[in-house]
Structures are given as structure tokens and as C-alpha cells.
Amino acid sequence: MKPFFTRRDFLKTTAAAGAGSALLPFVSRGKSIPISSPRYTKGLVVASANGLRAAQKAMKIIQSGSDALDGVIAGVNILEDDPNDMTIGLGGLPNADGVVELDASVMHGPTHRAGAVGALQNIKNPSIVARYVMERTDHVLLVGEGALKFAKMHGFKEENLLTEKARKMWVKWKESLSDQDDYLPPHSIEEKDVGGDWRGVMHTYGTINCLGIDLHGGISGVTTTSGMAYKVPGRVGDSPIIGAGLFVDNEVGAAGSTGRGEANLLNCSSAMVVEYMRQGKSPTEACVMACQRIVDHNKERRLQDNRGRPNFDVKFYALNKNGAYGSASIWSAGAKFVVHDGIKNELHDASSLYKSEE
């Protein structure tokens, strides 16, 4: 059996180790890996509505001839590094204990490999750590303390991710009513007013998903987030779960999601979007079908409005290997997504199942 690591590999990779958050060029695309997607001359990037700057950066890297994974990760790093974005990386809103815990996943279509971290503390770029998990372990997902130890082993520097602004918002939440948290009393699926409706009135969501196709037809994606604000410590959402918040199949396309992660965990949604595209649906149709699947499975009364519709939102973003793209959400409010087609980088309208003001 061929050893997992030869001495030459070891010397080659240790030379690059210790780089911490410095983004390494993608080293794993060997000649032997078949890439059957058509060759793109311009590249394509699709992202959540907060991803204009990320898409710009990703496209620049893709157009230089680099792997899409290099591009999409460098793109989302801009938001992870931004202390003013309170939903991703540094400055993200903390969990119920006032600790920022980050989730992220990356997936590389040409090699069908992925890496992810859940509930990672003190490291502002979980997307890069996720990539290290993919490239430097035999695993796909590391969480909590183990993920932090692994990041430190690779030279990532610990820092306090809780900004003053986020700390003050957490204190305000902490000082408010006790039904404003995610701990629930025992309840039946028929009960409506369980645990209060505070998520509807407070800003608790935010995540970036960014998908790209490079000039070689390689498809990759990344999803990164600080997750739901004030979550139960240790809660892991959909973002680091391959198949829930992100999925890539180089023979089909890619999909990712933002919004209520629990709904995606219960429906393997991003994998479903890719499967719908495999069955011949367009990216938009596939995203709409995933939204509908969530609606059909949303049986708990506390998660429904008075007409039985979800009282939360989930958004999907998708592209296929032919360069078609689309997005859909359950609710129309904020139903936008970013597309960089190699020439223009702009916000597009997404489809939605329900009009928000209805």
C-alpha cells in the first residue's frame, strides 16, 4: 500500500506549514484527476447577497488561472476579517455565554474532498482552518477544542473575536427576558408559543456562501458563519455540515445556503439541491424545490406562522457545471444573490415561495 505521506511530501508540506492564515495555493489538483466540466473562459461566482466584495475577489483569483477554491476562500476571508460584519468571523455575535463560536465548510469539486470546522473559538478564519482539515487530515469535520488545537498546530493565532459592539449586544440580550433563548421546555409539535418569538424580532442570522467555477471547470464552494446569535454553546449549524450548508459535485454543480440551519440539517438541503440539478432541474428550480421540501417537513407549530408557513427563512444559492445559476428563498424579504459572470458583479433577484408582506 502506498504510504499516505512520502518523505518528499512531508518536506514539501512542512515547508509550507506554519503559514497560519496565509492562503496557500491549491496544491492537490493532480493531472490524474479527471475534470469533465466544460472549460470556462471567464469563470463564474455566485454568492449570498452580502457577497459582492467576496465575489469580486474570488473572480480576480479565478481569472488569474487559480483554482476556484483559492478564489472563494479568499473572497469570504474579507468578511471573516471585517469586525463590522456581526455574522461572520471576527465581530460575529456570540453564543449564549458570550463566546464567539464559528462554523465553516469548504468543498472542492475536482477531488470531491471537503473539510469543515464547527464551534471553533478564537480563530477568525474558520474557512481556512476547514481547508486545512480537508488537506491535512484524514477527516472531514473537527469541532470545538479539537478544532482549535488543530488550528494552533498549523500556526493560526488565537485572538478575542468578541468586539465591543457584539459584547454590548450580547449583554443586552442576556439582560432581557428569560424566554429569549434557545432552551425549550418539553413541548408537543402542536404547541405554538414555546420559548417566545424573539428570533423574529432580533437580528440573529447572517452567513456567507460563495460558489465558483474556475477556468479549468473546477467547481468549489465555501460557507462560513458565526451561526445563530446567542445559540446554546456547542450548537453547530448547517454551515459546516457537508450536504446541509454546502455541497459540490463537479459533475453537476454546487449549492449552498444561509438562514435557519436547523431546517437544512433536517433536510440535507444543499445535497438535495445538487441532486435536483442532477435530475435535470435548473439551479433556480432546484433551489425552489429545496425550499418547498423544508416547508413540507416543517411540522412543529412553534415554527409556523398562523397560516402554517415557516416563521423563519432559508435561502439557497446554486450553479451548475454549464454555468447556469440561481437562488431561491422561502420568504421574499431580502431575496437577492450575487453573481459575478466574469464581466459584471451584481445583485440579482432570487425566487421565493412566499411574499413577506402577505
User: Interface residues with ligand ASP (CB under 6 A)?
Assistant: 103, 205-207, 225, 227-228, 237-239, 245, 258-261
C-beta of 44 vs 102, nearer to ligand ASP = 102
The torsion angles phi and psi of 5, rounded to 5 degrees, stand at -130, 120
Shortest reach from residue 82's CB to ligand ASP, in Å? 16
Tell me which residue has cell 439541491: 273
Residues 6+ positions from 336 with CB-CB distance below 8 Å: 49, 327, 347, 348, 349, 350
Bridge partners of 142, per DSSP, are 117
- Closest approach, Cβ 236 to ligand ASP, in A, equals 8
- Closest to 145 in 3D by CA, of 123, 127, 167: 123
Task: Answer yes or no: 225 catalytic.
Answer: no
Which lies closer to ligand ASP via its Cβ, residue 128 or residue 228? 228
Identify the CA nearest to 256 among candidates 56, 62, 42, 75.
Answer: 75
Per the CB < 8 A criterion, the answer to whether 325 and 271 are in contact is no
User: Least separation, in Å, of the C-beta of 36 and ligand ASP?
Assistant: 31
Least separation in angstroms between CB 286 and ligand ASP: 18
Q: Which residue is nearest to ligand ASP (CB)?
A: 261
- Sign of the alpha-carbon dihedral angle for 59, 65, 66, 67: positive
Contacts of 343 (CB under 8 A, 6+ apart): 42
The residue (of 111 and 207) whose beta carbon lies closer to ligand ASP is 207
Smallest distance, ligand ASP to C-beta of residue 239, A: 5
Dist CA 167 CA 49 (whole Å): 26
H helices of the chain, in order, are 7-16, 52-63, 68-80, 126-136, 144-153, 164-174, 198-201, 261-267, 269-278, 283-297
Q: Which three cell numbers, joined as nine digits, stand for 41? A: 473562459
In the three-class reduction of DSSP (H, G, I as helix; E, B as strand; rest coil), residue 302 is classed as: helix
Which of 207, 223, 224, 258 does the annotation list as catalytic? Answer: 207
Question: Which residue's CB is nearer to ligand ASP, number 276 or number 317?
Answer: 317
Nearer to ligand ASP by Cβ, of 62 and 123: the residue is: 123
Q: Supply the residues annotated as catalytic.
A: 207
